[in-house]
């Protein structure tokens, strides 16, 4: 059997990992409601996660909208339905592509950052130092990062959706002449509560998954400096995988409850 790099080598390892991750998540829920709250640290982490990913999300969001429009046009043109282009792109962007692609980008950027940072703090005994100075490092490091990821990923997704629609507007105008107002009224008209609401809710789960998994990978690393790279790498792999799994579940649930 061929091993997939950085995924648990055997079933046993896999279940041990799931067990450890759920304990870690349990610890998060036990800790995060207890005062003192590290507000200033949460704000700082929001800044790190949000501001630092903004450039990347802008570029990918724009390209997403543009490419999706250009690629969809020939199919719609075959049915003479080019007028539906803004609506169709808006629906696919906001329901699916915007949240998933943005979350994946953030899994790469934020997940590897948190994984590596916490892992290096762990192996150089900085987390131990925090603990002996009477500060709960789990609260100070993990809870703040998970909450920050949960707040910021949805905001980044909304932002990426907006930029994506702008990209799509330009994509439409390469071949056609559609005014900005007409374009956006068409795009927004096609959107339903059923499109927007579940898509928005699932981004919180994406944010939570990115935060908790990368913190788990970093916080529990053991193998010295080698573990730092490993933690960053496996954080990204596991975050990306979880984003797809959450997306799948979210789509099933949404279609179950919304129809």
Where do contacts with other proteins occur on this chain (CB under 8 A)? 117, 120-121, 124-126, 128-136
Decide if 148 contacts 250 (C-beta within 8 A): no
Q: In the complex, what is the shortest distance from the CB of residue 126 to other proteins, in angstroms, rounded to a whole number?
A: 5
The dihedral region occupied by 127, where left means phi > 0, alpha psi between -120 and 50, and beta the remainder, is alpha
Q: In the complex, what is the shortest distance from the CB of residue 30 to other proteins, in angstroms, rounded to a whole number?
A: 11
> Helix 224-258 crosses helix 98-106 at what angle (to 10 degrees)?
170
Nearer to other proteins, 57 or 123 (CB): 123
Q: In the complex, what is the shortest distance from the CB of residue 134 to other proteins, in angstroms, rounded to a whole number?
A: 4
Question: How is residue 6 written in tokens?
Answer: 């950085």
* 164 burial level (CB within 10 Å; 0-12, 13-18, 19+): buried
Q: In the complex, what is the shortest distance from the CB of residue 224 to other proteins, in angstroms, rounded to a whole number?
A: 12
Decide if 99 contacts 157 (C-beta within 8 A): yes
Nearer to other proteins, 136 or 233 (CB): 136
Nearer to other proteins, 25 or 135 (CB): 135
State how far the alpha carbon of 193 is from the alpha carbons of 33, 77, 91, 128, in Å: 32, 28, 11, 48
Q: In the complex, what is the shortest distance from the CB of residue 96 to other proteins, in angstroms, rounded to a whole number?
A: 36
Question: How is residue 238 written in tokens?
Answer: 């596991």
Nearer to other proteins, 74 or 134 (CB): 134
> Helix 193-219 crosses helix 98-106 at what angle (to 10 degrees)?
10
Nearer to other proteins, 136 or 173 (CB): 136
């Amino acid at each position: 059997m061929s091993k997939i790099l950085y995924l648990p080598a055997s079933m046993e390892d896999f279940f041990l990992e799931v067990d450890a991750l759920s304990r870690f998540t349990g610890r998060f829920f036990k800790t995060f409601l207890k005062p003192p709250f590290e507000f200033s640290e949460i704000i700082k982490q929001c800044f790190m996660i949000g501001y630092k990913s903004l450039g990347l999300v802008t570029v990918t969001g724009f390209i997403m909208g543009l490419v999706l429009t250009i690629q969809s046009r020939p199919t719609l043109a075959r049915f003479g339905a080019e007028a539906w282009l803004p609506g169709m792109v808006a629906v696919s962007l906001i329901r699916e592509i915007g949240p998933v692609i943005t979350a994946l980008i953030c899994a790469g950027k934020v997940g590897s950052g948190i994984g590596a940072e916490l892992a290096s703090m762990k192996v150089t005994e900085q987390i131990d130092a925090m603990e002996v100075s009477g500060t709960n490092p789990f609260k100070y490091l993990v809870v703040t990062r998970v909450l920050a990821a949960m707040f910021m990923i949805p905001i980044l997704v909304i932002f990426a959706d907006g930029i994506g629609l702008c990209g799509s507007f330009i994509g439409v105008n390469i071949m056609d002449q559609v005014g900005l107002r007409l374009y956006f009224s068409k795009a927004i008209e096609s959107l339903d509560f059923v499109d927007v609401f579940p898509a928005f809710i699932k981004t919180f789960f994406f944010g939570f998954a990115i935060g908790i998994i990368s913190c788990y990978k970093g916080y529990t690393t053991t193998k010295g400096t080698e573990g730092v790279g490993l933690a960053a790498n496996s954080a990204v792999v596991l975050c990306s995988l979880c984003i797809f799994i959450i997306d799948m579940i979210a789509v099933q649930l949404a279609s179950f409850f919304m129809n």
